[in-house]
Amino acid sequence: MSFVVRHVVPWIKVALAQILGLACLFLARDYLAGNALASLLLVGVAASLAGRILGLSIYWIPLQLLLPFALVYSDVIPAWAYLTGFVLCALVFWNSATGQVPLYLTNTSTWAAIKALASQSGARTFIDLGSGSGGGVVFLAKANPELDVTGVETAPLVYLLSRLRVAILARKNAKIRYKSIWQEDLGRYDLVYCFLSPVPMSEMYRKARKEMRPGALFVSNSFAVPEHEPDRIVDVSDARKTRLLIWKM
């Protein structure tokens, strides 16, 4: 996917969606009788729906809802507040807009199931592709000192905090690197774990098949690979009914 398609097209869709939201406001103007709050809400909700129809992921909805308020009340809210909010969001949700992989975290029950899987399979090397706040790297490194645990992450603030977390814990068998999941050679890992989104799964599976050693395990939390059934599924007994989809290379 080219840079333009990934980075520019979503914003064009946001602009189109907001214009459609404004069109809804125009059609409903007689019913709203000048109610500013209801009008802005209508634009935001209509733009959110239009965005979804145009193919934007659900992660754009908060922006679509806030945008009309931010534009109208721009003189009340100081500019630095927008800038700070924007910069912080960008540093955390760095990969949401471009790679369509947002930040949400694997829970402890699931990490425990992954630890069991690593022990059963005799894995000596593990990677969390997109390691988020580093919770999994820390959990596994503590739980199994023999396991060499790596995380790669490119959301800057999330990366820095996870590096700090690992440094405080000072585990020799844990490391987090600032590196794209697409740049990492998967050939040195016995167990590769990812919790991404449906979007990159086909490409990541192709990469895993190409690079991973025979017998190594590729594990996806929740997200399937189209046309490739997993060899095994582990159902985690947690509230969200997590499923670990496992392929043996």
Ligand X SMILES: C[S@@+](CC[C@H](N)C(=O)[O-])C[C@H]1O[C@@H](n2cnc3c(N)ncnc32)[C@H](O)[C@@H]1O
Q: Which residues lie near ligand X (CB under 6 A)?
A: 94-95, 99, 101, 103-106, 128, 130-132, 135-136, 152-155, 158, 180-182, 195-196
In whole angstroms, the minimum distance from the beta carbon of 97 to ligand X comes to 11
Least CB distance from residue 207 to ligand X, whole Å?
11
CA gyration radius, the chain: 21
Distance CA 180, CA 159 (A): 11
The neighbouring-strand residues paired with 220 are 194, 245
What is the closest distance, in whole angstroms, from the C-beta atom of residue 68 to ligand X in the complex?
A: 28
- Taking the complex as a whole, the smallest distance from the CB of residue 82 to ligand X amounts, in Å, to 23
The nearer residue to ligand X, 139 or 247, going by C-beta atoms, is 139
Nearer to ligand X, 153 or 190 (CB): 153
Whole-angstrom Cα distance, residue 38 to residue 9? 29
Q: List Cα–Cα distances, 79 to 36, 83, 145, 213, in angstroms.
A: 22, 6, 48, 52
Comparison of 18 and 95: residue with beta carbon closer to ligand X: 95
Q: Of the two residues 64 and 154, which places its CB atom closer to ligand X in the complex?
A: 154
HSE (side-chain half, CA atoms, 13 Å) at 243: 10
Nearer to ligand X, 114 or 216 (CB): 114
Q: Which residue is nearest to ligand X (CB)?
A: 130
| Tokens read off for 42 | 């209508």
**Least distance in Å: CB of 238 to ligand X?**
13
Distances in Å between the Cα of 149 and the Cα atoms of 169, 171, 178, 184, 192 are 13, 10, 15, 14, 10
